[in-house]
Structure 1
Amino acid sequence: MSDTAVYLPGGTVSHRLKWNHSPNGAGSEALCGRTAWPGYWYGTGSQDEEEKAASLPLCVACAAIIRHRAGGVP
């Protein structure tokens, strides 16, 4: 199962939610440990949100965890 791309309002980077966390939960953690609390994640509510989440650069900490999962830095 893949991680979900999300972002915070006014955010300049996207995050990846843990596979078992819902983007509709304010307390849902991204791979880096960030939550949207007290707000909510954006990125799954409409086509525009999905495109924005995909266009933002990935959070450095989330990217490091994804690289680690894949076996390290190429």
Structure 2
Amino acid sequence: MLELRPGCECCDRDLPPDTDQAMICSFECTFCRDCALVRLDGLCPNCGGDLVRRPSRPTRFLVRSPASTQRVFKPLGCA
């Protein structure tokens, strides 16, 4: 199950579990669409993998399988 991390690793923008603005790599590194496409050219700065749209989790499943609350913020890795 995906963690659905709550924020962008580059700019710390909030990314709620139902947003269509979150992008992830295969390791679930999480970025907002703006950072992923403009700053990172669609590649994860941590592993070099492709950044793709993160699927959303339907609200009815968030009670049983909540999104992560642990933020990862690495602005220096996104320069």
TM range (shorter): 0.3 to 0.5
Larger fraction in helix: 1
TM-score (norm 2): 0.32
